[in-house]
Amino acid sequence: MNSSSIQFSKPFMTISEQLEQLKSRGMQFQDEKKASHYLENLNYYRLSAYWLPFESDHKTHTFREGTTFERVLELYVFDRELRLLMLDAIERIEVSVRSRFAYELSQKYGSHAHLDATLFGSAYRYSQTLVKLTQEIGRSKEPFIKHFKEKYSEELPPLWASVELMTLGQVSNWFSIIKHRQDRQLIAKYYGLDEKVLASFLHHLTIIRNICAHHSVLWNKKLTLEFVIPKSMQEQFNTSEKRKLFNTFVMIEYLMDKISGDNSWRERLESLIEKHDIDKATLGNGETL
Per-residue pLDDT tens for 21-75? 999 999 999 999 999 999 999 999 999 999 999 999 888 999 999 999 999 999 9
* pLDDT at residue 187 in the model: 98
Q: Is the pTM of this model over 0.85?
A: yes
CB 236 within 8 A of CB 250: yes
- The packing angle between helices 32-42 and 15-24, to 10°, is 120
Residue 229 · residue 199 · CB < 8 Å = no
DSSP string, 200-244: HHHHHHHHHHHHHHTT---TT---S---PPPGGGGGGS-TTSTTS
239 alpha carbon, distance to own chain's centre: 20
Residue of 150 and 134 predicted with greater confidence = 134
List CB contacts of 136: < 8 A, sequence separation 6 or more.
165, 166, 167, 170
Tell me, what's the pLDDT at 153? 80
Average pLDDT, the chain: 92
Q: Which amino acid is at 162?
A: S
The CA distance from 246 to 156, in Å, is: 40
Write down the pLDDT at residue 4. Answer: 67
Q: Comparing 42-51, 104-113, 222-231, which segment has the lowest mean pLDDT?
A: 222-231
CA 214 to chain CA mean position, Å: 9
Distance of alpha carbon 29 from the chain centroid: 33
Least confident of 25-29, 138-142, 253-257: 138-142
Cβ-based neighbour number of residue 84 at 10 Å: 11
Q: Any residues with CB less than 8 A from the CB of 144 and at least 6 apart, and which? A: 157, 161, 164
Full DSSP string of the chain:
--TT-----PPP--HHHHHHHHHHTT-B-S-HHHHHHHHHHH-HHHHHHHHGGGEEETTTTEEPTT-BHHHHHHHHHHHHHHHHHHHHHHHHHHHHHHHHHHHHHHHHH-TTGGG-GGGBS-HHHHHHHHHHHHHHHHT---HHHHHHHHH--SSS--HHHHGGG--HHHHHHHHHTBS-HHHHHHHHHTTT--HHHHHHHHHHHHHHHHHHHTT---TT---S---PPPGGGGGGS-TTSTTSHHHHHHHHHHHHHHH-TT--HHHHHHHHHHHTT--GGGGT-SS--
Q: Is the pLDDT of residue 7 over 80?
A: no
Q: 178 has which bridge partners? A: 120
Reported as a single tens digit per residue, the pLDDT across 158-195 is 999 999 999 999 999 999 999 999 999 999 999 999 99
Other beta carbons less than 10 A from residue 234's beta carbon: 9
Residue range 105-117: average pLDDT?
Answer: 96
